[in-house]
Chain A
Amino acid sequence: SAVISQKPSRDICQRGTSLTIQCQVDSQVTMMFWYRQQPGQSLTLIATANQGSEATYESGFVIDKFPISRPNLTFSTLTVSNMSPEDSSIYLCSVGTAQQYFGPGTRLTVL
């Protein structure tokens, strides 16, 4: 299984600002995924990031709000833009095909 790290592990941000979350994997992977886990709700896929192509966003998520970069096969970033309190959540990246392995998550609080 892959070893996945995320930075930051947690942050408290002001409304209207942006935060970039980093995801680093210890091996080269084709697909990386970004999920959101809101309090009391299930994990929801935000987008799939493939190296060398534009990210594919799920219904309800747009690139202007959640821009994603995938510069190489071991790294990706997710930016949460123009944040509001509703963006307070845990953001997780994952990798894998048949089964997915998750990073430790980034706990974001927006005031």
Chain B
Amino acid sequence: EDQVTQSPEALRLQEGESSSLNCSYTVSGLRGLFWYRQDPGKGPEFLFTLYSAGEEKEKERLKATLTKKESFLHITAPKPEDSATYLCAVQAILGGATNKLIFGTGTLLAVQP
């Protein structure tokens, strides 16, 4: 069964304190791995797509990496505005034409000034 597990569930950082969020996945065949940011009361906001092991994507203070079993979202020198829930999702290669995303439960990040 396709599955996504994120850790930690919650993370509290001081402003400027770098860290990483983990997303472990099992999928029959990976079409893509996605990272989203979700602020309270809003829908998920797309951040990155990774397609193959070894791939990396960067955006401001965020960097996403991918291996065959997991993905990391590295946050360098975070600021309070980076506080949000970060969601990881995978899209599997299924028999039919579907774009179904399988989500983890997310990591709630709080960055204190």
**Hey, which bits of chain A sit against chain B, CB under 8 A?**
1, 4, 31, 33, 40-45, 48, 56, 58, 92, 94, 96-105, 107
A100 contacts which of B42, B101, B104, B106 (Cβ < 8 Å)? Answer: B101
Interchain Cβ contacts within 8 Å, total number: 57
- Given A43-B87, A43-B101, CB of A99 within 8 Å of CB of B44: no
B99 contacts which of A43, A96, A103, A105 (Cβ < 8 Å)? Answer: A96
- 10 cross-chain pairs, A with B, having the tightest CB-CB distances, nearest first: A102-B43, A42-B103, A43-B103, A42-B105, A102-B44, A104-B43, A105-B43, A99-B49, A103-B43, A45-B100
Q: Chain A residues near B103 (CB, 8 Å)?
A: 42-44
Supply 30 A–B pairs (Cβ within 8 Å), ascending by A: A1-B46, A33-B99, A33-B100, A33-B101, A42-B4, A42-B87, A42-B104, A42-B105, A43-B44, A43-B87, A43-B89, A43-B103, A44-B103, A45-B100, A48-B98, A56-B98, A58-B100, A94-B43, A98-B49, A99-B32, A99-B34, A99-B46, A99-B49, A100-B46, A100-B99, A102-B45, A103-B43, A104-B43, A105-B42, A105-B43
